[in-house]
Every structure is written in C-alpha cells, then in structure tokens.
Structure 1
Amino acid sequence: MKKGNAQGLAIGSVSEATGMSVHALRFFEREGLFLREIPRSAGGQRIYEQADVDWLVLCNRFRASGMPIAVIRQFAELVRTGPGNEPDRLELLREHERNVRARIDELTACLDVIHTKVVVYEQHLRSGEAAALWSPGLPGLAEEGARHA
C-alpha cells in the first residue's frame, strides 16, 4: 500500500485497499462516518491510518448488508463516544442482524419459487412439451397458464 507520507496512507491507497472510490471516501468524511477526524498534511492531503482502512472495510460490509448510512453514522457516533455504551451498540447490531435475516428469508422464499420454475421448464424441455408452457396473449391458455406458468 502506498504511503501518503511518513505518518500515514494517501487517499488513493485507501481507495485501492477498500474498493471505495475517492469520491466515496470524501463522502464518508463529510457525513461523519469515520471514527476520527481525518488529519491533513501541510499540503492539505488526507492522511489515513490502517485503523481507518479497517473501519471502512467494516462499513462496506454494513452497506453491502443493507445498513442505512444513518445507522452507520449512529454506530460510528457510539464508537467515537468510547466505552460505556456497548449495550446501545449491541442493540443496533442486533436490530440490523434481524433485518438481514428477514431479507435472507425473503430471498430464500423467492429462490424457492424460481427454482421450482427452473425444474418445471427443465422437465418440459426434456419431455418435448415446452410448447405447452403458458405464453401471455395466446387465446384459450389462461386456465392452462395458471397451472404451468
């Protein structure tokens, strides 16, 4: 990873390490999502530390799992405050875990339906009855469509 200077990492290196664009890093800073204020060099360049990279990797997981920016901000504020609010942090994480599990359950139900359709189409194609599958707009197939579509 390319150093920004003797004290830290340059924004390009952090972007590369996290997969986040430079624009996204600046957004995170503006939105107060870092655990600390990102210092600047004498030339005005941001100076990151490995702990900032580690935090961003965690934030990427939060975002990928659907955690809203506002909740990440709330979590960051709790962490910045320091010890003593761990029950609040835990509750925030438990709530997000419940939300993610609910999304997984919904996606699993969707996947089950899709898989059932894949099996039906595979059977019809193997048996040579693919033409019997419902096509929208064909007269007289409304009842048949309900069974095969």
Structure 2
Amino acid sequence: MLEIKPEIPVEGLTIAEAAERTGVSVHTLRYYERAGLVVTEIDRTPGGRRRYHHRDLKWIDICTRLRATGMPIRTLRRYAELVAAGNGNEAARLALLEAHRAETAARLAELQDHLARIDHKVTTYRSRLAEGSAEGLWDPQP
C-alpha cells in the first residue's frame, strides 16, 4: 500500500503536491472530484484553490488501487457514495468489494495460467538453444 507521509501541513497540500505524493496526475485528481469519486468535499483556500489532507490522500490511494485492478468508474462511484453516506451500509460496501475481489482473483488466475504457458515456451527455447538445436520450435515455414 502507498505510504502516505504523515507530515502534511495543517493547511493541507496543493493539488500539485497531492499529485506528487499519490503518484497520480493533477488531471486525475480533478477528474476524481468531477466524477463523484471523492468521499469528502476537498478543502479550498479563500482563493478557491484545492487543499488536500491526509484523509484525501488515503482515499485517492484506495481509488487508484481499485482502478488499477479494473474496477469500473461506475462501481467505484457507487463505493464512494456508500462510504460518503456514512455508517449503516457496511454490508453493501463489503458485498461490492467481495465481488470486485472475486473478479480480480479470476483475472489473476487467468494471467497465472498464461504466464505458466509462457514459462514453458521460455524453458523450451532455452533448452533447445543450449543444445544447439531449433528442432521442434515454431517455424512459420512449411
């Protein structure tokens, strides 16, 4: 998990500083807010500039990880809505996360199967090349 440094100034971080700390772009941070993916309203300076706090960075980390595992925006938005609504819907949140976990685990198992097949081909090529023979390797020529 992303280690969010606790030494955030009381007044918060600028959007550029938050982007640097979380590893996402300024554009992505603005998009998350526009798309309804944030759970608390982002603080603003008297001049209207965004200020991010520790809770915001932790939420961005969660969003980034869920997106990286393929969670659709609409599902992430639903999760954010549930979290923002507060206590009382934890079972719905859990069901959403469990469904996403199951989908992610299935994709991971499929990737592991693909990797095993690639590893087999790599092993075959290495052994044949070590023997000095390309016999039995794929050849596009008839």
The TM-score, its normalising length taken from structure 1, stands at 0.85
Would you say the 8 A contact 1:2–1:13 is kept in 2?
A: no
Match of 2:4 in 1: none
State whether structure 2 residue 53 is matched by structure 1 residue 53. Answer: no
Q: Contact 1:11–1:48 (CA<8 Å) still a contact in 2?
A: yes
Distance 2:124 2:100 in 1: 36
Query: 1:144 — aligned with what?
Result: none
Gaps of 5+ in 1: 140-149
Following superposition, the deviation at residue 12 of structure 1 comes to 1.1
Instruction: State the Cα deviation string for residues 7-56 of structure 1 (Å, max 9, x = none).
Output: 22211110011001100000001001111121321212012211000110
1:79-128 deviations in whole A, cap 9, x for unaligned?
Answer: 00010000000000000010010011100110111011011111110111
Aligned counterpart, 1:22: 26
**Deviation for aligned residue 1:134:** 2.5
**Corresponding residue number in structure 1 for 2:118:** 114
Find the aligned partners of 1:134 and 1:79 in 2 and give their Cα distance.
53
Gaps of 5+ in 2: 1-6
In 2, Cα distance between equivalents of 1:96 and 1:51: 23
For residue 35 of structure 1, the aligned residue among 1, 14, 39 is 39
Identity of aligned residues (%): 46
Q: Which residue of 2 is the match for residue 44 of structure 1?
A: 48
The answer to which structure, 1 or 2, has the higher relative contact order (CA under 8 A, 6+ apart) is 2
